[in-house]
Amino acid sequence: MRYFLAALAGLTCFFAMPPVRAQNAARPAVTFNGQVATILYRNCSTCHRPGEAAPFSLLSYRDAATHGAMIATAVSARIMPPWRAQPASYAYRDERRLTDSEIALLRDWVAQGMPEGTGKPPEAPQFPSGWRLGEPDLVVEMPEPYHLKADGPDIYRNIALQLGLTEDKWITAIEMRPSARSAVHHVLYFADPNGRVHLKTSEGSEPGFSGMRAGGATVPLGGWAVGAQPQFFPEGLALRLPQGSDLVIQYHFHPTGKPEIEKSVIGLHFAKQPPSRSLISIQLPPVYSLFSGLDIPAGDRDFVIRDSYTLPVDIDAAGVSAHAHYLASKMKLTATLPGGEVKTLLAINDWNFNWQDQYYFRDLAALPRGTRLDAEIHWNNSAENPNNPSNPPVRVAWGEQSKDEMGALTLIAVPHVQTDYRALQRDVMAKRTAMAQQRIFADPSLLRKISELLAQ
């Protein structure tokens, strides 16, 4: 959030508030009770409320009027709400992107002096139990807090939790509630079906252990990143959590300049019955571009990596996500259907490291066999990039630290027919293996990097 506030302070210099139109009688009146409250409650109050990450609340007229000028500036620049995706070929569920007319209404309301209006305002939204998705089926908490130092390199830390499950469960959503929100950049969730990771001895004085392998936990369960909102999978879809499993949370901590204490609470939501189709993730490029020659010269304004994958079976796409670090500028994932029609699955024209989300489609998107997926990621390593963490710019290669880079777009899908799942899974793995072999042959030094990752 500190990044948002700093950016907003700078933008205030560039975005002048709209002139007061008191002389223009034809301009319709805009009031909080009439139009503004509905916009704010639908798009902003989920985060802008007590106990959440946003720095102020937007649940009343007084809240909105106090911050009216800032609201108008932020929405005009499309900094807020934090929705980076452009309109795509398939509508997104729970889209928080304001329309041009909604932005105009907010600007006009501020220009007109932020009147409250007559009549009763819409009822402010209610958020039960503090959980955005409602009361979870299972709530677990870190047994001990993790203490972060004020400064230093980024930290990857795995912390295992016993779940005590006596039967298989199917996860429909995971809601993360970190206590040190500004220090937790993202987390990945894994399950250890053997239920043994919690027995692993902690490294050092802090709970958990370092590294990228999650201590042998082999079942990926998704993740959470800064700016992401917890969401249920589309109806009928879920991820299997075997009985007896440990839950392993792999943290990416980013020091904030002051000591932090992290002791997360995690809510798990379970399906009432197993799904009929299995979820799969198709990532382009694989392993966040590790095998794609990600090596960005200092000053390069538009370093691009592209990757493609042709579907061997019919699938139904549920959504898409993206990940990269500070230097990324644009991302796009398209699907070229067998007949030549091109569909946009995700397009982000102003990537921001601090706002990463998952974008689920309102309805499953049918992509037939033979559809070609094309991913394109752009990085800007010049001094003109306001998000560049190095001044002057330096050469940046693939790596785990925030000042390193990585990048990928991930399609979340199910096979149209469940019997095609194994064939799709094998094909995805075969492509990843072939790409790795090709890159290692061209650059043997990758073997050392991979060995270091696996040894962690």
* pLDDT tens-place string over residues 312-366: 999 999 999 999 999 999 999 999 999 999 999 999 999 988 777 889 999 999 9
Taking the C-alpha atoms of residue 285 and residue 294, their distance in angstroms, rounded to an integer, is 11
Q: How far is CA 379 from the centre of its chain?
A: 18
Q: Which of 264, 147, 141 is nearest to 206 (CA)?
A: 147
Identify the DSSP state of 54: S
Q: What is the assigned CATH class of domain 130-270?
A: mainly beta
Tokens 């007559």, located at residue: 118
State residue 146's pLDDT score: 94
CB 42 within 8 A of CB 124: no
Q: Which amino acid is at 367?
A: L
Q: What angle do CA 246, 145, 176 make, to 5 degrees?
A: 60
| Start-end of CATH 2.60.120.230 domains in the chain | 280-455
CB 143 within 8 A of CB 233: no
Q: Which amino acid is at 42?
A: R
State residue 230's pLDDT score: 85
Strand order in the sheet with 372-379: 303-310, 372-379, 328-336, 342-348
Orientation angle between helical segments 100-111 and 68-76, nearest 10 degrees: 150
Residue 161 makes CB contacts below 8 A (sequence gap 6+) with 140, 141, 142, 143, 198, 246, 247, 248, 249, 266
DSSP characters over 245-264: PEEEEEEEE---SS-EEE--
Low-confidence ranges of the chain (pLDDT < 50): 1-25
Enter the pTM of the model.
0.82
- Residue 51: phi and psi, rounded to 5, are 90, -5
State residue 79's pLDDT score: 85
Specify the fold of 280-455: Jelly Rolls (2.60.120)
State residue 229's pLDDT score: 76
State residue 129's pLDDT score: 62
| Start-end of CATH 2.60.120.310 domains in the chain | 130-270
